[in-house]
Structure 1
Amino acid sequence: MKKAILLVLFVFSLSLFAQEKFIIYTYHNHSPFINSQNSGLSYDVVRYLNTQAKGKYLFELKVIPRSRLNYILKPWINKDCLKIRKCDANWMVLWVNQKWGFGQDSLSNFSWTALLQDSNVIISSSKADFYYTKPEDLIGKKLAGMAGHRYLGIDDLVDSGKIKRINGNTEVENLKVVLSKRVDATLLPKSTFEYYQKTNTEFKKLYASDVSHQDYMRNIMTVPQNKELIAYFNSLDLSEIFK
């Protein structure tokens, strides 16, 4: 009996040793991606990938600021990892798009696996306030933005004084400012706004524009060298994560 137990423990230790570990980075530390400890879509992705891997891979989530991610990815973006240094390739990034500051050659420099179709929408206190179809519809309005975020087509109008922008530190803070009518509108990912409407009855009073400010795909990003990992992603039905 003792020998059998030792054999099981030995086989188990070998299986752990054989696992290839990947760090999953995300800087999206707000709902629905991170709701609380071990809760949110990012954790759902990790659990799904680990379950489907059946011991071949071990995925571990790390939530870090975008500035830290930029530092980690800098040698990959500059292509130093292919020329003058050896870099750890066992990583991936969740919820990102190739247009979001990952270098001019981001589409070919990295591998992209589609994960979630999303959009940015304009949130106002009522549909009667104004009808949004384009950034110019915000002229003369007061907009609550997220500190450190840039908004295509809107920032130029802010810089020219045509839109007044104030910055908040959280999405909930900005929604409350809209609710109190201290600003005319804010801009949020549709996925985030829908989550907050489900979890906070107050926010059901707010209105999301029918016309989005931007539409985009949120992807899993890694490096093309991870061919087996990418093939693993392609073998999965990632839509199961959101059911």
Structure 2
Amino acid sequence: MKKSFYAWVLALHALSFGAAAETLPVYNTYLTPPYVVGDGGLAADTVAYMNKKLDGKFELKLNNLVRARLNFVALDSKDFKGAVLFMAPMFVGDNDKTKYNWSDTLIKDGNAVLSPAASKFSYSGPEALDGKLFVGVAGYRYAGLDDKFGKSIKREDVSNEESILKRMVEGKGDVALMAHSIAKYYVKQPEFSGKVNIDPKPYSTFTRHVLISKANPELSAELQKIVKEAEKDPAWKAITAKYGL
């Protein structure tokens, strides 16, 4: 009788273990607000939202890392079975969407044109930047402008986006480009509010998506469903509103 009881308990534990959700990595390469804010931020809130919707089918674990590491740990790895947040096909050379699976639009974004509020600079097109001192982030490429740097546009680099805002406030730069989602967050902070201008005309627009490994069609189907339904979900709307998106 005791042997039967113990066998039943062991079988129950085995079933419970077998039913445990598979933990999969989800990567975020944007290490600045609003994507990372202290111990939280948009990336953490997005993963929490998705885990709730997955309801135990999978367990997503957020990994924040610099963009240079993403190819090594995920995109070029045969073991990659997770996802990457806030990406666009053009960011990873997948314009025809054949290398990876892609969700519907997660958030709408673009590249905003920033300038010191006191300068009254008005952006009318790329030619408006000629003769200006452009402040960029070291290592960043700026489509449509790289060939002009050192010629018609002088460029000076800083270490991150927040430093760009500081240069604008100090009047040590004429113009900069920054993801609209990041710029909107920063210009609402007391030290930058009213001191940095975001031009109404964006330099470019794009949409951010979830990149999902083709090696995991089950996860792909679940995340695509979650993102597709998020647009009308009050819970997701509350998250994006929290970060001014």
Letter in 2 for 1:24: V
Structure 1 length as normaliser, TM-score? 0.83
Partner residue in 2 for 1:135: 126
**1:13-32 matched pairs, under 5 angstroms:** 14=16, 18-32=20-34
Q: Which runs of 5+ in 1 are unaligned?
A: 77-86
SS in 2 for 1:71: helix
Q: 1:219 to 1:111 in 2, by over 3 A?
A: same
Letter in 2 for 1:27: T
**1:227-238 matched pairs, under 5 angstroms:** 227-236=217-226, 237-238=229-230
State the 1:61 CA deviation: 0.7
Does structure 1 retain, via aligned residues, the 8 Å contact 2:85–2:211? Answer: yes
State the 1:18 CA deviation: 2.7
Query: Take 2:14 and 2:206, find their aligned partners in 1: how far apart are those partners?
Result: 43
Q: 1:169 to 1:12 in 2, by over 3 A?
A: farther
Query: Take 1:88 and 1:14, find their aligned partners in 2: how far apart are those partners?
Result: 26
Does structure 1 retain, via aligned residues, the 8 Å contact 2:129–2:153? Answer: yes
State the 1:133 CA deviation: 2.3
Letter in 2 for 1:59: L
Q: 1:187 to 1:63 in 2, by over 3 A?
A: same
**1:91-170 matched pairs, under 5 angstroms:** 91-100=82-91, 102-103=92-93, 107-113=97-103, 114-126=105-117, 129-159=120-150, 161-170=151-160
Query: Take 2:18 and 2:175, find their aligned partners in 1: how far apart are those partners?
Result: 51
Query: Take 1:45 and 1:132, find their aligned partners in 2: how far apart are those partners?
Result: 33
State the 1:49 CA deviation: 1.1
Partner residue in 2 for 1:242: 240
Structure 2 length as normaliser, TM-score? 0.82
Does structure 1 retain, via aligned residues, the 8 Å contact 2:94–2:100? Answer: no
Q: 1:54 to 1:143 in 2, by over 3 A?
A: same
Query: Take 2:93 and 2:205, find their aligned partners in 1: how far apart are those partners?
Result: 20
SS in 2 for 1:155: coil
State the 1:209 CA deviation: 1.1
Equivalent pairs, count: 224
Query: Take 1:50 and 1:16, find their aligned partners in 2: how far apart are those partners?
Result: 19
Does structure 2 retain, via aligned residues, the 8 Å contact 1:50–1:57? Answer: yes
Does structure 2 retain, via aligned residues, the 8 Å contact 1:21–1:90? Answer: no
SS in 1 for 2:89: coil
Partner residue in 2 for 1:67: 68
Query: Take 2:41 and 2:34, find their aligned partners in 1: how far apart are those partners?
Result: 6
Query: Which string of whole-angstrom CA distances, capped at 9 and with x for unpartnered residues, describes residues 131-178 of structure 1?
Result: 11222111110011011110111111114x111111111211110101
State the 1:223 CA deviation: 2.1
Does structure 2 retain, via aligned residues, the 8 Å contact 1:146–1:171? Answer: yes
From 172, 181, 193, the equivalent of 2:171 is 181
With 104-113 and 182-191 compared, the bigger mean Cα shift is at 104-113
Query: Take 1:59 and 1:162, find their aligned partners in 2: how far apart are those partners?
Result: 47
Query: Take 2:30 and 2:182, find their aligned partners in 1: how far apart are those partners?
Result: 11
Partner residue in 2 for 1:36: 38
Query: Take 1:132 and 1:123, find their aligned partners in 2: how far apart are those partners?
Result: 9
Does structure 2 retain, via aligned residues, the 8 Å contact 1:122–1:132? Answer: yes
Identity %: 27
With 150-159 and 115-124 compared, the bigger mean Cα shift is at 150-159
Q: 1:17 to 1:190 in 2, by over 3 A?
A: same
Letter in 1 for 2:22: E
Does structure 2 retain, via aligned residues, the 8 Å contact 1:21–1:59? Answer: yes
What is the RMSD of the two structures over their aligned residues, measured on CA atoms?
A: 2.4
Q: Which runs of 5+ in 2 are unaligned?
A: none
Q: 1:216 to 1:105 in 2, by over 3 A?
A: closer
